Amino acid sequence: MSLLFALVANQVFGQAGPGSLFGGKDPLPIALSISIKEVRKSQQDSLYIANKLYYRDASGKHDSLKIGLKGRGNFRMRECYFPPLWIKFKNSETKGTLFEGNKKLKLVLPCNTDRGNNDLILKEWLCYKLYEEISPFAFKTRLVNIDLTEQRRKKEKMFQVKGILIEDIDRTAKRMATKSVEVARIDPRNLQDTNAFRFDLFQYLIANTDWSKAAQHNSKLIAWHSKFIAIPYDFDMSGVVDAPYSVVSMVGDEQLPIESVKDRYYRGYCRSPEITAYVRNEFLSKEKKLLSLPDELKDELSSREIAELKDYLREFFTVLKSDNKFNEQILEKCRSL
């Protein structure tokens, strides 16, 4: 049943057309004016702050939409200069526009104001694109170039920053003709095993340990027949991004036995030999495509940074290609169900 699922689910769900928000490949130019102080306060409020989003579509036409803004997130909301945002739309506003069909979007902003933080956003976006190649159950994203005006009491301040628009889980579920699910905690045995192993190997690929499918930390759930599928997000603590503020994850009161977020550590569950072999071979068959994805950032990152990203991803495939390393770093580290 699981392998049949894997074959069926490899069809493309809800391909975004070239005229849609997530169909374009180039960063979308947008402009926002926000009060960071008000956004931070809004996180605890059910109301959204009335605002306006300015954008330029693929034809070069300038347009704007009335939106609601709200702060979201935990770590970045506390520790970063720019808070991550929810953007809420009215159907009457988006009809016939690039944003049609989207009721809510997440907007990931850089943590701080220096240029290096834009590079971190680009690397986090790369993680989303990697997962889109790995699993059909993934969030659609779009890079944005933002003219951001910070409203202050005495004087406005202007920033030009990178950002990531991420579709809402309800839209993701709708694309797949299913529904999103919210539960306090889920038994890992109730997760669809093929995709669960894809999820776990992906997190090992990008060297991310800041997640939990059971507690839905940095993952969302959708129902899939009699099982559930977890979809990952928020990768700023991963080794691929290597943010200066990143820290090794804690499990309970103990830090994981690694020294740096760049050190890969497998936190997934053990799966059957059939599922393990299937997904391992699936990753190996996609090696060339996955290693080519950093090239999509060649206009944004230096050739040295692109080469370093590729070398880092190749280390993962070195493990996958070696039975000894795969046994030592994956099979002997996996957690029992």
At 205-237, the pLDDT tens digits run 999 999 999 999 999 999 999 999 999 999 999
- pLDDT attached to residue 7: 42
Calculate the CA 176 to chain-centre distance.
18
- pLDDT attached to residue 18: 47
Q: Is there a single domain that holds both residue 175 and residue 307?
A: yes
DSSP states along 54-69: EEE-TT--EEEEEEEE
- Alpha-carbon gap, residue 213 to 231, rounded angstroms: 9
Instruction: State the first-to-last Cα distance of the chain, in angstroms, to the nearest integer.
Output: 19
Looking at the domain assignment, is residue 63 inside a domain?
yes
Q: Is there a single domain that holds both residue 186 and residue 163?
A: no
Taking residues 35-44, report their average pLDDT: 89
Q: Is there a single domain that holds both residue 129 and residue 196?
A: no
Is a pLDDT exceeding 60 seen at residue 44? yes
Q: Is there a single domain that holds both residue 56 and residue 101?
A: yes
3 state SS of 232: strand
Taking residues 233-243, report their average pLDDT: 97
Q: Is there a single domain that holds both residue 157 and residue 280?
A: no
Residue 100's H or E segment, with its range, is none
pLDDT tens, residue by residue, 254-294: 999 999 999 999 999 999 999 999 999 999 999 999 999 99
Looking at the domain assignment, is residue 18 inside a domain?
no
Q: Given 120, 142, 167, which residue is the final one in a domain? A: 167
Question: Among residues of the chain, what percentage have pLDDT more than 70?
Answer: 94
- Alpha-carbon gap, residue 17 to 24, rounded angstroms: 8
Looking at the domain assignment, is residue 146 inside a domain?
yes
Q: Is there a single domain that holds both residue 281 and residue 312?
A: yes
pLDDT band at 15; cut points 50, 70, 90: low
- pLDDT attached to residue 154: 83
Q: Given 113, 132, 167, which residue is the final one in a domain? A: 167
Is a pLDDT exceeding 70 seen at residue 87? yes
Sign of CA dihedral 256, 262, 267, 273: negative
Q: Is there a single domain that holds both residue 318 and residue 178?
A: yes
For the chain, what is the mean pLDDT? Answer: 93
DSSP states along 194-229: HHHHHHHHHHHHTT----BTTTTBSEEEEEETTEEE
Listed as own residue / partner, the contacts of 301-309 with beta carbons closer than 8 Å and 24 or more positions apart are 301/119, 301/122, 305/119, 309/123, 309/126, 309/240
Q: Is there a single domain that holds both residue 128 and residue 176?
A: no
Q: Is there a single domain that holds both residue 292 and residue 319?
A: yes
pLDDT band at 2; cut points 50, 70, 90: low
pLDDT tens, residue by residue, 116-156: 899 999 999 999 999 999 999 999 999 999 999 999 988 89
- pLDDT attached to residue 16: 58
Q: Given 167, 190, 225, which residue is the final one in a domain? A: 167
**What residue numbers bound the domain in which 141 lies?**
28-167
Amino acid at 31: A
b vs e for 187-206, b when ≥16 Cβ sit within 10 Å of the residue's Cβ?
Answer: ebeebbbbbbbbbbbbbbbb
Looking at the domain assignment, is residue 85 inside a domain?
yes
Q: How many domains does the chain have?
A: 2
Is a pLDDT exceeding 50 seen at residue 1? no
- How many Cα atoms occupy the beta-carbon half-sphere of 309 within 13 Å? 28
Residue 233, Cβ neighbours under 10 Å: how many?
20
Question: Among residues of the chain, what percentage have pLDDT more than 90?
Answer: 84
Sign of CA dihedral 179, 183, 185, 187: negative
Looking at the domain assignment, is residue 23 inside a domain?
no
- Alpha-carbon gap, residue 315 to 13, rounded angstroms: 30
Looking at the domain assignment, is residue 150 inside a domain?
yes
pTM of the model: 0.94
Looking at the domain assignment, is residue 17 inside a domain?
no
- pLDDT attached to residue 115: 82
pLDDT band at 5; cut points 50, 70, 90: very low
Looking at the domain assignment, is residue 337 inside a domain?
no
202's CB contacts (< 8 A; 6+ apart) are 130, 131, 134, 135, 232
Among 309, 333, 298, CA closest to 130: 309
Is a pLDDT exceeding 80 seen at residue 14? no
Q: Is there a single domain that holds both residue 163 and residue 176?
A: no
DSSP 336: P
- Alpha-carbon gap, residue 204 to 200, rounded angstroms: 6
Q: Is the CB of residue 142 less than 8 Å from the CB of residue 24? A: yes
- pLDDT attached to residue 257: 96
- pLDDT attached to residue 19: 56
Q: Is there a single domain that holds both residue 180 and residue 145?
A: no
Q: Is there a single domain that holds both residue 82 and residue 104?
A: yes
